């Protein structure tokens, strides 16, 4: 039984209270291992006091709503076990209080619980699997991993907690800033974004050839490099999928720069397979930190047909780059501008304004999206008039 399981709530009844008719009690009791309980109490900062039914009643919340909150947070049902603490009761009160005050609707409160639970569950698993595991090798024969883990967690817990709150506040400030800059209420939900996928070529073949540890190192290096580049150049990493990352940016130029940086950086790493990137620009529905819609699907399709170490974009992104002056509409336009500059004695530096070049590719049908015209995106080397 994990620490999260021990802190989980569910729809079982209490020891002295009948189980409600809508509750299915199908889970095992939480662990009674003394060392596991000591670690749990250290992390939670409280002892087990309540069954799920008792916790819900103490918090003044219906068992049905409490079960929905707990399940949304990702906590397993624990039947009639007395495994919940004062912190569980307080969390229920807070969520229910937001609903009672009219600050959140009940469905929204459940979404808050779900998004928080999903994010922190992944973080906790990563910390245990990667971080603590590497630091808790017994220094002396005869010592158990748990005996080493307890004092380590005791030292790290307050520092990691403060750091988590700091990063969350920073991210919340950035997200709030994007919302208040939205043109209208609809744009807060359905926004125009540039969405890109970056995909490692031939990853399936690699999984057959590489050892598990080597494969894990490659994926971690890819995800780390991608995350750093996306963040450094003003984009947002939406999620990683092993051999693929999904990112978004508020404008076409930022997304184009990120895509080319990814290609340029990873192509110089001999340990990495080739990369391909697809970007689309348009209306995107955002929900719980993820993005959905036709624009996202189009970006995914563009990635699947992109050549190795190349970036394909859709017509909307190409048009946006031209509109903002970051790519020429055509090479003919560039030739005209160069001739005009040469005739007028204009400084050559004036012609270096274009960052990107766009080359139309063959139109092709894409399943579910009709016929599309991809554009090959590259960096544009400025041509200086003679």
Residues 78-103: pLDDT tens digits? 888 888 999 999 999 999 999 999 99
**Range 121-126, long-range pairs (CB < 8 A, 24+ positions):** 121/4, 121/74, 123/164, 124/4
pLDDT computed for residue 12 by the predictor: 36
Q: Give the helix ranges, DSSP H, for the chain.
A: 3-6, 34-44, 52-59, 63-72, 86-100, 106-126, 133-135, 145-180, 185-189, 203-209, 212-232, 252-267, 294-305, 315-323, 331-344
CA angle 379, 383, 386 (to 5 degrees): 170
* Separation CA 126–CA 157 (nearest Å): 15
pLDDT in tens, 187-205: 555 688 999 999 999 887 8
DSSP code of 75?
Answer: P
Contacts of residue 116, Cβ cutoff 8 Å, sequence gap at least 6: 73
Contacts of residue 327, Cβ cutoff 8 Å, sequence gap at least 6: 256, 318, 321, 354, 355, 356, 357, 358, 380
Q: What's the pTM value of the predicted model, to 2 decimals?
A: 0.65
* Separation CA 382–CA 355 (nearest Å): 8
C-beta atoms surrounding 183 within 10 Å: 9
pLDDT computed for residue 319 by the predictor: 94
Domains identified in the chain and CATH numbers: 3-135 (no CATH), 188-386 (3.30.70.1230)
pLDDT in tens, 358-377: 999 988 877 778 888 899 99
């Amino acid at each position: 039984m994990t620490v999260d399981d021990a802190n989980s709530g569910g729809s079982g009844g209490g020891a002295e209270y009948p189980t409600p008719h809508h509750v299915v009690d199908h889970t095992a009791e939480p662990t009674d291992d003394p060392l596991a309980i000591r670690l749990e109490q250290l992390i939670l900062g409280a002892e087990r006091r309540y069954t799920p039914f008792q916790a819900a009643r103490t918090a003044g919340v219906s068992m049905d709503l409490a079960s929905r909150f707990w399940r949304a947070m990702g906590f397993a049902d624990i039947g009639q076990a007395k495994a919940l603490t004062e912190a569980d009761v307080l969390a229920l009160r807070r969520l229910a209080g937001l609903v009672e005050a009219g600050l959140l609707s009940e469905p929204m409160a459940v979404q808050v619980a779900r998004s928080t639970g999903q994010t922190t569950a992944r973080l906790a698993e990563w910390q245990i699997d990667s971080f603590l595991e590497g630091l808790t090798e017994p220094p002396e024969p005869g010592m158990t991993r748990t005996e080493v883990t307890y004092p380590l967690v005791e030292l790290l817990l307050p520092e990691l907690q403060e750091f988590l709150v700091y990063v969350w506040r920073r991210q919340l400030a950035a997200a709030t800033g994007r919302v208040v800059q939205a043109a209208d209420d609809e744009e807060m939900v359905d926004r125009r974004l540039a969405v890109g996928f970056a995909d490692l070529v031939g990853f399936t073949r690699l999984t057959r050839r590489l050892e598990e540890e080597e494969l894990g190192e490659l994926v971690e290096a890819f995800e780390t490099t991608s995350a750093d580049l996306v963040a450094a150049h003003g984009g947002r990493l939406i999620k990683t999928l092993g051999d693929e990352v999904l990112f978004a940016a508020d404008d076409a130029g930022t997304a184009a720069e990120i895509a080319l940086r990814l290609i340029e950086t990873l192509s110089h790493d001999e340990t990495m397979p080739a990369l391909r990137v697809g970007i689309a620009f348009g209306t995107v529905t955002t929900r719980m930190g993820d993005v959905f819609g036709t624009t996202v699907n189009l970006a995914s399709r563009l990635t699947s047909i992109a050549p190795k170490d190349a970036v394909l974009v859709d017509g909307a992104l190409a048009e946006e780059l031209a509109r903002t002056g970051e790519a020429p509409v055509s090479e003919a336009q560039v030739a005209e501008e160069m001739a005009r500059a040469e005739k007028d004695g204009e400084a050559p530096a004036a012609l270096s304004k274009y960052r990107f070049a766009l080359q139309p590719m063959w139109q092709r049908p894409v399943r579910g999206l009709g016929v599309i015209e991809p554009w090959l995106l590259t960096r544009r080397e400025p041509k200086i008039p003679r």
